[in-house]
Chain A
Amino acid sequence: MSAKLFVRRRDGRIEIRLNEAGRDVLREVFVRVVAAERDPEHEWHLSLNAPINPSNDDDDPLSTLARQNEIATNAELSVMTLKEQFLNDAEAWAWLSTLQVALRSTSVANGLLSDEKLAAAPPELINEIQTIQQFLFDLAACF
């Protein structure tokens, strides 16, 4: 697979070169981030709510709230723009952020916190991670 999945055009918009199957994969990822942000029991919820200042047990509730709102907003915007052919800069940034949140949440939820643990992960999990990474590589190249 050598063709770019996302391309920045001269007018500044980002073209999405994904077929339906590719968009379905993204939909699953984006919807999962929205669900994780809303459901405290979700396996990704903890990784989405890491403390800002680990030495302070009470953390700053306003900062935490700001983060929760922004993560949810990014993921919701990503879901809403899934059928678009072109993204503007803010939408593409929301996609990139949501994909990266999903990637790290997958890693944390499965205890993949080192290169050794990642190398020993089951093939299906590695495949899931590499798929998200491929989206991220191509989208990051547009910024």
Chain B
Amino acid sequence: MSHTAPLRLSSTESDVESEVSVITERPWNVIVWNDPVTPMTVVVVVFRRIFGYSNNKCTHLMLTVHHEGRAIVWSGKRERAESYCVKLQVAGLHSSVEQDA
């Protein structure tokens, strides 16, 4: 019977570090804010074009913005969140990013 050494005896320092970073790295949210002038159809079209979401999802998000004043339209890494935020602003929507609470 051959003896196989255990692959891992204990957690290393880097394991601990990566676990900590997973815990502390909260996602960044892209927020779209309501305004009184933007047509609903434009909001749906912009969401579909920028995120590639289905028509139903875009409509749901648009209605959330309309009724609640804001909606989280995407969550994830900060760089991508800022990139999406820029695209939304270039398309004329009021948007911002914030880290998940």
List A residues at the B interface (Cβ < 8 Å). Answer: 50-55, 60, 63, 66-67, 70-71, 74, 93, 96-104, 106-107, 112-115, 117-118, 129, 133, 136-137, 140-141, 143
Contact = CB atoms under 8 A, between A and B. Distances in A.
A50 B37 contact: no
Given A52-B97, A140-B42, A143-B45, A100 B82 contact: no
Given A71-B90, A104-B94, A140-B42, A129 B37 contact: yes
Given A129-B37, A133-B37, A52 B82 contact: yes
A141 B44 CA distance: 10
A103 B37 contact: yes
By CB atoms of chain A within 10 A, which of B38, B82, B89 has the most? Answer: B89
Given A50-B89, A67-B90, A143-B45, A100 B35 contact: no
Given A53-B82, A67-B89, A143-B49, A104 B96 contact: no
B93 interface: yes
A70 B36 contact: no
B54 interface: no
Contacts of A71: 89-90
